[in-house]
């Protein structure tokens, strides 16, 4: 398969600060890549380097096999949707959408055709003569996407496009974005800090920390087989529980401060020091009052969410924070002590020093 | 309008009433006094009780006097040439100094200095610079082999001199207004334009300047109003001469009032100046009204 977009050893430095450090990344043509990470992890800088808005300190960027590292933004065959929409306030919706085409001297009837087609896809035909300030946030977002679509680029770049919308509209636009990508089938790079967007939209997720890629994988891969502690802690909501532990045998871990011994589904084959971190997703800790309840939790806050209840508290005996998700309404558990069993299949084990996953 | 809305509107008026009263006292009272003065014959220094009602006489005399119309014409020429040049230069410099150029902050500060100088001092400075015998300008021209010119003695050169002085003093005002306007332009819009393929010229003419149109309009209005009222610099530099070649309307008003001692006529001419400035302001604001409701141009 041809690569729609390729980054080879891309590095960005501002003075002595390295913002992006030797990123290698390839997107298959038509793939939807989502870059996630905390603020300042370099995800937006990578997107801006692909767009040509930021120069590359070292490395190369290829779009459809063509080296565009030094090319001007408009010569890269890309279109970008900005977080704040970045619409031209003095132009109508139609003018906003056709501006790029008018600069390339595209024939008038071709411009009209493309603007009309994009407006139809996005359902903004009635807004074409309006100015941006007469539009709602959601409508502006659609116009920004329309402006990208009419250019028919090889690569779409999205910089946190939904973060200025309210929660309900964000969910709706997320679905629309997924449908739009399906329809257009263009290579897409999407930057977000919202992991729901990442999990629902991505073919593959790229997780970044301090300018370095931590893991690239499908949503299922990064959720079920996080490569290291950072990815495990970043993906998933509520956040994965992390307990300090000691490897006492090939398949036995004792949790610090609790005397609880967890049996692993498989023996650990990777070499590791005895000091480990045990990771269990809140969904893998089940309420239990039978003998398999190996942990006891003092529930401090019980958040009932309709179909499930998120229980926040501390482990009895070690004050370590712990979160569990239980199906149904358990709002009455606040202030009480409950037993928890661990589903070994939801268990992750990390080397305490290298932070790498020892099981997957 | 419903009863509630009506009541709300009344309460709203009540809240803005103090501001309206202060505005009226500060702005309208002097204007009304000036207009009223036009209907009286009154010598300065005598009690107002000795003023004599003169009806429209002052207005008739003032508006039929050729010197009034020629000074209005001079004012129009002065304002249009100097304000056009100031706008063009100010915008051009602001655009040129927009990027990340070394020493930019220092240059900007240096550049706005002329604006802070008192007009009388500006007039005096330029009078020395333009001096035919000792002036720096003739000295510099001499280096290039250009013969010394009697700047302030020649009608068209004197007119050029007052325009040069005005441009020197007021281009910085346009410059800072435009710099401030450009600084407020959302950077991501400019980036979007770069991605859309806008190069320098397109970026300037179709993105940047239209986005600061309201700043340009208010700058233009302020400069026009000021240019029509210009007095001190010309007073010191040429005092309207040679002949009446640089006698702008406000200088003519000054001379009528304080040399000719015809306060009524001076007031009548002031009303003319006020009307011209108001019409111009209205026209400029119609082009792009910074105070307009944001939904206005939907």
Distance of alpha carbon A212 from alpha carbon A221, whole angstroms: 19
Q: What is the pLDDT along chain A (360 residues), one digit of tens a residue?
A: 578 899 999 999 999 999 999 999 999 999 999 999 988 899 999 999 999 999 999 999 999 999 999 999 999 999 999 999 999 999 999 999 999 999 998 999 999 999 999 999 899 999 999 999 999 988 999 999 999 999 999 999 999 999 888 888 889 889 989 999 999 999 999 999 988 999 999 999 999 999 999 999 999 999 999 999 999 999 988 999 999 888 888 788 888 877 788 888 777 777 777 889 999 999 988 888 877 788 889 999 999 999 999 999 998 877 789 999 998 898 888 889 899 988 887 889 899 888 998 887
Q: Hey, what CATH class is B59-296 in?
A: mainly alpha
Distance of alpha carbon B253 from alpha carbon B265, whole angstroms: 8
| pTM for this model (two decimals) | 0.83
The predicted pLDDT at position B133 comes to 84
Write down the ipTM of this complex: 0.86
CB contact under 8 A, B191 and A82: yes
Distance of alpha carbon B280 from alpha carbon A289, whole angstroms: 86
The predicted pLDDT at position B31 comes to 85
B297 CB within 8 Å of a chain A CB: yes
Whether residue A68 contacts residue A75, with contact meaning beta carbons closer than 8 Å, is answered with yes
What does the pLDDT look like over A252-301, one tens digit per residue? 888 887 778 888 877 777 777 788 999 999 998 888 887 778 888 999 99
For B201, the closest chain A residue by CA position comes to: A103
CB pairs under 8 A between A and B: 67
Q: Which are the contacts of A103, defined by CB distance < 8 A and separation ≥ 6?
A: A74, B196, B197, B198, B202
DSSP A16-59: TEEEEEEEEEEEETT-EEEEE-STTSSHHHHHHHHHTSS--SEE
Please list, residue by residue across B25-34, b when 16 or more beta carbons sit within 10 angstroms of its beta carbon and e when fewer do.
eeeeeeeeeb
CB contact under 8 A, B188 and A84: yes
Closest CA to B169 of B221, B130, B113: B113
CB contact under 8 A, B188 and A133: no
Which residues of chain A are within 8 Å of residue B296 when distances are taken between CB atoms? none
Domain boundary assignment for chain B: 59-296
Partner residue facing B195 (CB), from A51, A83, A84: A51
Partner residue facing A103 (CB), from B189, B192, B197: B197
Partner residue facing B189 (CB), from A51, A88, A130: A88
Distance of alpha carbon A196 from alpha carbon A36, whole angstroms: 11
């Amino acid at each position: 398969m041809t690569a729609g977009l390729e980054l080879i050893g891309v590095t960005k430095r501002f003075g002595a600060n390295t913002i992006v450090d030797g990123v290698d990344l390839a997107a298959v043509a038509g793939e939807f890549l989502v870059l996630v990470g905390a603020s300042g992890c370099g995800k937006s800088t990578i997107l801006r380097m692909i767009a040509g808005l930021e120069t590359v300190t070292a490395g190369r960027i290829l779009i459809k096999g063509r080296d565009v590292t030094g090319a001007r933004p408009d010569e890269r065959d890309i279109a970008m949707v900005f977080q704040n929409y970045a619409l031209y306030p003095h132009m109508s919706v139609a003018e906003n959408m056709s501006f790029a085409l008018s600069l390339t001297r595209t024939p008038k009837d071709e411009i009209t055709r493309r603007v009309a087609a994009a407006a139809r896809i996005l359902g903004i035909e009635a807004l074409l003569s309006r100015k941006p300030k007469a539009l709602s946030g959601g409508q502006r977002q659609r116009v920004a996407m329309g402006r990208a679509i009419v250019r028919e680029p090889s690569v779409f770049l999205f910089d946190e496009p939904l973060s200025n919308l309210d929660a309900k509209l964000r969910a709706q636009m997320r679905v629309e974005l997924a449908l739009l990508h399906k329809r257009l089938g263009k290579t897409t790079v999407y930057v977000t800090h919202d992991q729901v967007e990442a999990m629902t939209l991505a073919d593959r997720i790229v997780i970044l920390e301090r300018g370095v890629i931590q893991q690239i994988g499908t949503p299922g891969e990064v959720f079920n087989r996080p490569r290291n502690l950072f990815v495990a802690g970043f993906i998933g909501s509520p956040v994965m529980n992390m307990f300090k532990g000691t490897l006492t045998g090939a398949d036995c871990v004792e949790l610090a401060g609790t005397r609880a011994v967890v049996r692993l589904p498989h023996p650990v084959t990777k070499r590791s020091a005895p000091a480990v971190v045990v990771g269990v997703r809140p969904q893998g800790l089940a309420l239990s009052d039978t003998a398999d309840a190996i942990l006891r939790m003092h529930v401090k806050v019980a958040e009932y969410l309709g179909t499930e209840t998120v229980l926040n508290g501390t482990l009895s005996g070690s004050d370590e924070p712990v979160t569990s998700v239980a199906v149904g309404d358990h709002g009455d558990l606040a202030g009480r002590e409950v037993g928890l069993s661990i589903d070994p299949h939801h268990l992750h084990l990390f080397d305490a020093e290298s932070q790498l996953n020892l099981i997957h | 309008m419903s009863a509630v809305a009506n009541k709300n509107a009344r309460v709203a008026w009540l809240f803005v009433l103090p501001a309206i009263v202060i505005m009226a006292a500060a702005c309208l009272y002097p204007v009304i006094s000036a207009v009223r003065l036009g209907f009286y014959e009154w010598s300065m220094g005598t009690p107002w009780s000795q003023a004599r009602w003169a009806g429209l006489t002052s207005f008739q005399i003032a508006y039929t006097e050729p010197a009034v119309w020629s000074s209005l014409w001079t004012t129009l020429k002065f304002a249009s040439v100097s304000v056009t040049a100031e706008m063009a230069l100010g915008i051009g410099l602001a655009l040129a100094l927009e990027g990340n150029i070394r020493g930019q902050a220092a240059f900007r500060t240096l550049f706005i200095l002329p604006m802070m100088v008192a007009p009388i001092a500006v007039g005096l400075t330029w009078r020395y610079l333009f001096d035919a015998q000792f002036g720096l300008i003739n000295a510099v021209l001499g280096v290039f082999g250009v013969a010394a010119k009697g700047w302030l003695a020649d009608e068209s050169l004197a007119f050029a001199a007052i325009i040069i002085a005005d441009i020197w003093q007021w281009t910085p005002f346009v410059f800072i207004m435009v710099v401030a306007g450009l600084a407020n332009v959302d950077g991501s819009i400019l980036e979007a334009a770069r991605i859309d393929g806008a190069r320098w010229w397109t970026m300037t003419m179709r993105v940047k300047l239209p986005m600061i149109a309201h700043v340009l309009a208010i700058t233009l209005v302020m400069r026009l109003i000021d240019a029509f009222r210009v007095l001190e610099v010309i007073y010191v530099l040429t005092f309207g001469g040679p002949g009446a070649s640089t006698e702008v309307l406000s200088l003519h008003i000054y001379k009528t009032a304080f040399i000719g001692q015809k306060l009524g006529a001076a007031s009548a001419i002031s009303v003319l100046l006020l009307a011209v400035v108001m019409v111009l302001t209205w026209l400029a604001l119609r082009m792009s009204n910074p105070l307009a409701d944001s939904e206005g141009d939907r």
